[in-house]
Homo-oligomer: A and B are copies of this chain.
Amino acid sequence: MPLIQIKVFEGVLTEEKKSEMITRVTEVVAEIEARPYPKEKLQPYTWCVIEEVPAANWGIGGAPSSLELLKALLES
């Protein structure tokens, strides 16, 4: 019954990336919590919800962020 909620900047994840994130994070969480039992026991009861928030609504250290800041960080 783990419940995973992930918030990211709006506009940075393609549908493929979202799908991959849901699959892989769910597997990791189910595997760790279920161990020593197989993760397949817990996986059907594991939910993962991605919520997208505009970068300008997201403050880091007191200043609104932006997709440009994220890009600059990644390219740094």
Q: Is B3 touching A56 in the complex (CB atoms < 8 A)?
A: no
Q: Given the complex, which residues of B lie within 8 Å of A5, measured CB to CB? A: 4-7
Report the copy number of this chain in the oligomer: 6
Interface string of A27-71 (1 = CB under 8 A from B): 111101111010001111111111111001111111111000010
Q: Is B74 touching A60 in the complex (CB atoms < 8 A)?
A: no
Give how many A residues have a beta carbon under 8 Å from the other chain's beta carbons: 59
> Once the chains are docked, how many angstroms separate the CA of A51 from the CA of B35?
19
Q: Given the complex, which residues of B lie within 8 Å of A48, measured CB to CB? A: 58-59, 62
7 interchain residue pairs of minimum CB distance: A22-B59, A26-B62, A48-B59, A37-B74, A50-B57, A3-B7, A44-B61
